[in-house]
């Protein structure tokens, strides 16, 4: 380890954590809307409303995933290689689900036939719920520890990923994303569908709170006895945020409820990364085999160039995405979609 690596390696570990926080915050409500599509959409007009709430922004939200993957590949190639070799099947399923989901958004409104729309609605549902579950399983495994051998390579099989802690992580992520999506819909819709979205969010709030508490508590006691830099305020804030959502919804403070579901997602993701540091993939075989920010990182020159590029382009991307959300900030109701011809990216 050379002097100067600490700052850049820690910086890029933190930046990757921020990218995952941004992805789960934004794509989380996309997943939630997709999961709720068959339940809140009582007829085709309702389902068109739901799809149109995320139609203009879903693809922009997925950019965060692409950038997170690219940053991991460039900054920590050993982490990327081991992650993708060990989680190959799970990541393939996520990728396939995201592809079918994206195609469904584009193709749903191309043919005015109920059977056609029903098939693509089903693709949106499965393309949302599969990644929502598997991302929780994946990050549950990462923080729990995976079978990594002395050469830094994966030494397990797919069944190793289906441990109880990781499955709890999958249950937590799907519940939290669905809650996040329901609250988002209470902000973006109007009329009866907005009321149904709020009632659904109220029903989901307490189960999501219980699962979040169970996951955070298990993660705390699951550590190998090592000290990690997890300030107590971070997981506590995540839990308190999701616990307050039901009360805020009853008071009809939908904006604050959405902010707190997002804060809960950010807090849980931050807790995972803080729990990992300085490891990027702990080994369940022997702590000596851990992949860390030191032994998994690229060269100092690579990290330096990446930092310069990120400093230039990140503000531009953030400004563009903020502008997109501002342009499409209006609520959507039945009168906004009935009798209108669908366009690309909408229903």
242 near 190, Cβ under 8 Å? no
Domains and CATH numbers, the chain: 5-328 (1.20.1630.10)
Is the pLDDT reported for residue 2 higher than 50?
no
Can you give the pLDDT at residue 213?
A: 95
pLDDT in tens, 244-294: 999 999 998 999 999 999 999 999 999 999 999 889 999 988 888 999 999
- Mean of the per-residue pLDDT values of the chain: 89
This prediction has a pTM of 0.91
| Band (328; pLDDT cuts 50, 70, 90) | confident
300 near 16, Cβ under 8 Å? no
pLDDT in tens, 221-242: 875 544 455 667 888 999 999 9
Alpha-carbon distances of 271 from 157, 234, 257, 316, 320, rounded to whole Å: 27, 6, 21, 28, 28
| Band (6; pLDDT cuts 50, 70, 90) | low
Can you give the pLDDT at residue 3?
A: 43
Q: What is the phi/psi pair of residue 291, to 5°?
A: -90, 125
Determine the average pLDDT of the residues in 295-322.
91
C-beta atoms surrounding 214 within 10 Å: 13
User: Structure tokens of 308?
Assistant: 């310069």
Percent of the chain with pLDDT over 90: 65
278 preceded by a cis bond (ω within 30 of 0): yes
> Given the structure tokens 């990728």, which residue do they identify?
95
Can you give the pLDDT at residue 225?
A: 43
């Amino acid at each position: 380890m050379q002097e100067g690596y600490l700052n850049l390696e820690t910086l890029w570990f933190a930046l990757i954590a921020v990218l995952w926080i941004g992805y789960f915050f934004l794509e989380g409500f996309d997943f939630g809307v997709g999961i709720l599509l068959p339940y809140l959409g009582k007829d085709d007009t309702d389902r068109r409303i739901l799809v149109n709430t995320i139609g203009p922004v879903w693809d922009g939200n997925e950019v965060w995933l692409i950038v997170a993957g690219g940053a991991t590949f460039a900054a920590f190639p050993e982490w990327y290689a081991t992650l993708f070799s060990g989680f190959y099947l799970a990541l393939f399923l996520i990728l396939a689900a995201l592809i079918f989901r994206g195609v469904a958004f584009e193709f749903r409104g191309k043919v005015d036939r109920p059977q056609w729309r029903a098939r693509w609605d089903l693709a949106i549902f499965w393309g949302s719920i599969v990644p929502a579950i598997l991302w929780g399983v994946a990050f549950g495994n990462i923080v729990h520890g995976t079978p990594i051998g002395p050469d830094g390579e994966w030494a397990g099989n797919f069944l190793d990923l289906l441990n109880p802690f990781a499955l709890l992580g999958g249950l937590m992520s799907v519940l939290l994303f669905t809650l996040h999506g329901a609250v988002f819909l209470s902000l973006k819709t109007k009329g009866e569908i907005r009321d149904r979205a709020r009632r659904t969010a109220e029903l989901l709030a307490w189960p999501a709170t219980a699962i979040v508490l169970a996951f955070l508590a298990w993660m705390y006691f699951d550590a190998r006895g090592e000290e990690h830099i997890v300030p107590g305020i971070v997981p506590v804030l995540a839990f308190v945020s999701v616990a307050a959502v039901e009360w805020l919804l009853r008071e009809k403070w939908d904006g604050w409820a959405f902010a707190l579901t997002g804060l809960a997602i950010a807090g849980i993701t931050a807790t995972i990364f803080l729990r990992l540091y300085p490891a990027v993939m702990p080994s369940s075989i022997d702590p000596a085999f851990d992949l860390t920010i030191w032994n998994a990182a690229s060269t100092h020159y690579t990290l330096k160039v990446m930092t310069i590029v990120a400093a230039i382009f990140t503000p531009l991307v953030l400004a563009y995405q903020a502008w997109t959300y501002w342009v499409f900030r209006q609520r959507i109701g039945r009168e906004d979609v009935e009798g209108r011809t669908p366009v690309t990216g909408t229903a």
